[in-house]
Amino acid sequence: MKQRVKLILMALSIVLALFALWEVQNVASQVRESEEAKIRLWANAIGQRNRISSATQQFFQQATLDEHRKMKLYADILQSFNDPNQNVDLRFSLAYVNYIVDSARTPIIITTAKDSIITVPQELAGQKLEGDLLAEYSQNPPFEYRIWGMPMTLYYKESQYYTQLRQVLTGFTRSFLADITNNSVFVPVIIADSTRTEVIALGNIDSSEVNTPAKLLPRLERMASVNDPIEIALPDNSRGYVYYENSPLLRTLRWVPLLYLIIAIVLLLVTYYIFRTTRTMEQNRIWVGLAKETAHQLGTPLSSLMAWTEYLRGKEFSDEYAAEMGKDLQRLETITHRFSKIGSVPELKEESVEEAVRAAIAYLQSRAPRKVQFVVSFPEDEQFIAPLNNYLFQWVIENLCKNAIDAMEGAGTVTILGSQDARNIYIDISDTGRGMSPSVQKKIFDSGFTTKSRGWGLGLPLARRIVNQYHRGRLFLKYSVPGQGTTFRIVLKKNS
């Protein structure tokens, strides 16, 4: 039973360890997939940023050309005022060019040769175009022209519409990328071009660590050894690669299976040590019990022989005395045979079970209290033959009957009933003693357990070992109720 419990516990420990390892691997796999998905999202966000940047750049380049054409048209119309041959409505032309400027909301400044502002905006008229104001309006090349011989210069800067649109797009792009980066990427990541010499974007890495090819290439190789790079498309139709490392959580999870394995091994070792210690203690109890049982078994015939020796001093020796002493010597021989068989495989012979039982009862009956009665009942005209070792089997009967006598406290009836079928022989040993409680019934076959003040808990475990292992039968508690007695059953297999 204990061996089975040991195997069950070991198997359970192994199953739990394997389950824990599988769970950790499953969690690590999910974390790895989640990280890869976030890296892809981050890389796609970088690609979207590049596309937005490229489209924005193209848009504003076209807008700059449109503004340049409008300002060129504006200057040409003003220049046309110098041609007396053209039939030009001056007020219409001025209204038209002012419409162009106002509709585009393009800030312009017109200066004289001495850089004095003469028009648009009116609050700057008469001032000098210099310093920060000149730098502000020098974003685009100016247009020079003459009106009635007077040199003029037209300065302009980006339309207010375009400026506002640029600010909105720039803010949107930064917000979009910041949100993606802050919420998705928490691992070291680098996006490099196909030649692995240029960094397109990076995250959670100090730029000083990859600012040269000598630093970049080893870092990319190390990252590629951890995770395969992810290929992405760049806005200019080229290819880029996303290199990334594992997060601290994933690196920690990688060592968790080893930790679980170590814990499982420690638990198995502790369990083994506990069972080994328990087994050693049990063996020690068995050896102590065997020693005491030996002393007890040898005590009775030795005491008898010593008494006979004292009695015979100075008397004539007769056949009657010799017979009694012979019984004690035979008992000593039986005890020697019994203990010599323990620990080895005894030889079994076809014997009469009934005769072995009656022989054991005959020995006990002459030494049991007078108020104890023995009833042995086997069906007449039936032979109860089974493979037996008489010395050991009679020891089982004696142990069971001694326990019954102790349970009856020296007064009652011990009944031995024999029966059989085609395959087995059944021997029921009952008493009229005090019986056992359910809690005691569970422990009666444990080595060292006893309810006697001077017992050592070896009789029943030894009897069970003799029947179950040596005789390939069964010994078990069939019935026991407090106050109503106890019945043990022995099952022996016949030879087929």
CA dist 129 and 115 (Å) reads: 6
Pairing relationship of beta strands 150-156 and 143-147 according to DSSP bridges: antiparallel
Contact 457, 349 (CB under 8 A): no
**Structure confidence by residue, pLDDT tens digits, 460-480:** 888 888 898 888 899 999 989
Query: What's the domain count of the chain?
Result: 4
Contact 252, 19 (CB under 8 A): no
Residues 127 and 172 in one domain: no
- The β-bridge partners of 413 are 373
Residues 33 and 128 in one domain: no
126 domain-assigned: yes
Highest average pLDDT, of 113-122, 128-137, 212-221, 361-370, comes from: 212-221
- The β-bridge partners of 192 are 199, 241
End residue of a domain, out of 182, 215, 234: 182
16 domain-assigned: yes
Residues 79 and 192 in one domain: no
362 domain-assigned: yes
Residue carrying structure tokens 């019945």: 487
Residues 451 and 375 in one domain: yes
pLDDT at 142: 87
Domain of residue 145, residue span: 109-157
Residues 385 and 453 in one domain: yes
363 domain-assigned: yes
Residues 70 and 198 in one domain: no
Residues 87 and 131 in one domain: no
- The β-bridge partners of 243 are 190
State pTM to two decimals: 0.43
**12: Cβ contacts below 8 Å, ≥ 6 apart:** none
Residue 109 is given by DSSP the state: E
Residues 136 and 171 in one domain: no
Residue range 99-118: average pLDDT? 68
Supply the CATH number for residue 464's domain. 3.30.565.10
192 domain-assigned: yes
Token pair listed for 151: 């040199």
430 domain-assigned: yes
332 domain-assigned: no
Residues 351 and 241 in one domain: no
Contact 376, 419 (CB under 8 A): no
Which 3 state secondary structure label does DSSP give 452?
coil
Residues 89 and 230 in one domain: no
299 domain-assigned: no
Residue range 87-114: average pLDDT? 65
pLDDT over threshold 60, residue 64: yes
Confidence of residue 183 (pLDDT cuts 50, 70, 90): very low
Token pair listed for 49: 């940023």
Give Cα 381 distance to the centre of its chain.
67
Q: Phi-psi bin for 477: left (phi > 0), alpha (psi -120 to 50), beta? A: beta
End residue of a domain, out of 221, 246, 271: 246
Residues 223 and 146 in one domain: no
What mean pLDDT value characterizes the chain?
A: 76
pLDDT at 398: 87
Residue range 264-276: average pLDDT? 77
Residue range 285-297: average pLDDT? 58
Residues 27 and 122 in one domain: no
